[in-house]
């Protein structure tokens, strides 16, 4: 039995209502009890990083195909899904900063017994994939950035440092406000990720909602928001020499297609694939086209 399989065989359960299946477990890493799905065989590891407000469920249409030829890890990012939501603390090292999430990705790779991985990130997951590749190029074989948020949104937002103490002191108020706003806007916002809204059914939408709204979820999201800062990836990406694939939906309105085209031009060693009849989540809306692009890329790295 490999180290990775031993680890997952001994994986713990939690009391958050998520019952693990044979390839789903929880791994303790960097202060988080991380809910993950790991399967497949082979020396290469692919790590799947989902969009904000979603969960590892977002990879359900492509995970089983990818695991036929390689090892695949999908996990619920901190503040999302069934991964634990501890309060940040210097004593425990728990942090929701983008850099801490990048550290967690590398720690998971190592804990599964691998030294390197290919990162596939969608939206803010793409933000973290690129950030991790820039910070830890020695542990990354290549990156796939699908509708990656690099020039806008999460990657460029900034909570002013002088405001943080006041905002943190008002955490109970702001986390309740986030709870109300996200609860009311969730269905409409998530449907907006699709080019054709009817492709996301009510049942899947309800499951995504259930994945997010676990425990004190709005408090964790507030902590994530407080740690948002401008990552200046547009300046830093030009130094990266790793193989890269940029994927965008032809009708992506969340991260406009033009931003992904720009990313493919400015990121060294990058290829571009534009998927027709598709919005922000190509692995959801056009999984066959997404898999074709990814598998073609993997054959050449």
117: left (phi over 0), alpha (psi -120 to 50) or beta: beta
Structure tokens at 158: 């900034």
Rounded Cα–Cα distance for residues 216 and 222 (Å): 10
The predicted pLDDT at position 22 comes to 67
In the three-class reduction of DSSP (H, G, I as helix; E, B as strand; rest coil), residue 214 is classed as: coil
Whether 146 has a pLDDT exceeding 60, the answer reads yes
pLDDT band at 283 (very low <50, low <70, confident <90, very high): very high
**Whether the Cβ atoms of residue 281 and residue 58 lie closer than 8 Å to each other:** yes
Higher local confidence (pLDDT), 90 or 143: 143
**Whether the Cβ atoms of residue 62 and residue 70 lie closer than 8 Å to each other:** no
pTM of the model: 0.92
User: With pLDDT > 90 as the criterion, what percentage of the chain qualifies?
Assistant: 86
The predicted pLDDT at position 6 comes to 47
- Residues 6+ positions from 244 with CB-CB distance below 8 Å: 142, 143, 144, 145, 267, 268, 269, 270, 271
Query: Which single residue is written with the structure tokens 């929880």?
Result: 26
**Whether the Cβ atoms of residue 99 and residue 29 lie closer than 8 Å to each other:** no
The predicted pLDDT at position 263 comes to 98
Structure tokens at 247: 């994927």
pLDDT band at 2 (very low <50, low <70, confident <90, very high): very low
Rounded Cα–Cα distance for residues 101 and 108 (Å): 11
Report in angstroms the alpha-carbon separations of 97 from 137, 155, 220, 222: 19, 12, 12, 12
Exposed/middle/buried for residue 136 (C-beta within 10 Å: 0-12, 13-18, 19+): middle
Q: Domains of the chain (ranges plus CATH)?
A: 3-299 (3.40.50.1820)
Whether 9 has a pLDDT exceeding 50, the answer reads no
Q: Give the pLDDT mean for 258-276.
A: 97
The predicted pLDDT at position 164 comes to 87
For residue 124, the 8-state DSSP code is H
In the three-class reduction of DSSP (H, G, I as helix; E, B as strand; rest coil), residue 248 is classed as: strand
Rounded Cα–Cα distance for residues 86 and 241 (Å): 36
Rounded Cα–Cα distance for residues 231 and 208 (Å): 28
Structure tokens at 275: 């998927």
Longest distance between any two alpha carbons in the chain, whole Å: 51
For residue 43, the 8-state DSSP code is S
Tens digit of each residue's pLDDT (9 = 90 or more) over 45-70 = 999 999 999 999 999 999 999 999 99
């Amino acid at each position: 039995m490999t180290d990775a399989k031993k680890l997952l065989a001994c994986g713990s359960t939690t009391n958050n209502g998520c019952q693990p299946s044979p390839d789903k477990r929880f791994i303790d890493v960097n202060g988080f009890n991380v809910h993950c799905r790991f399967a497949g065989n082979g020396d290469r590891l692919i790590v799947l990083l989902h969009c904000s407000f979603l969960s590892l469920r977002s990879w359900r249409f492509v995970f089983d195909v990818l695991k036929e030829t390689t090892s695949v890890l999908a996990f619920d990012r901190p503040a999302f899904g069934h991964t634990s939501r501890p309060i940040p603390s210097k004593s425990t090292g728990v942090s929701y900063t983008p850099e801490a999430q990048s550290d967690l990705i590398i720690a998971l790779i190592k804990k599964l017994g691998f030294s390197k991985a290919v990162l596939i990130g969608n939206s803010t997951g793409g933000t973290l994939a690129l950030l991790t590749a820039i910070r830890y190029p020695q542990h990354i074989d290549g990156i796939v950035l699908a509708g990656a948020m690099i020039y806008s949104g999460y990657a460029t937002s900034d909570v002013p440092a002088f405001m943080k103490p006041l905002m943190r002191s008002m955490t109970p108020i702001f986390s309740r406000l986030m709870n109300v706003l996200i609860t009311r806007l969730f269905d409409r916002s998530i449907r907006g990720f699709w080019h054709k809204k009817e492709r996301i059914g009510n049942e899947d939408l309800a499951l995504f909602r259930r994945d997010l709204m676990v425990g004190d979820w709005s408090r964790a999201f507030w902590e994530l928001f407080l740690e948002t800062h401008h990552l200046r990836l547009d300046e830093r990406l030009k130094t990266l020499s790793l193989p890269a694939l940029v994927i965008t939906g032809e009708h992506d309105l969340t991260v406009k297609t033009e931003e992904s085209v720009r990313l493919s031009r400015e990121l060294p060693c990058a290829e571009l694939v534009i998927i027709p009849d598709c919005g922000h989540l190509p692995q959801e809306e056009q999984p066959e086209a997404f898999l074709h692009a990814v598998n073609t890329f993997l054959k050449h790295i």
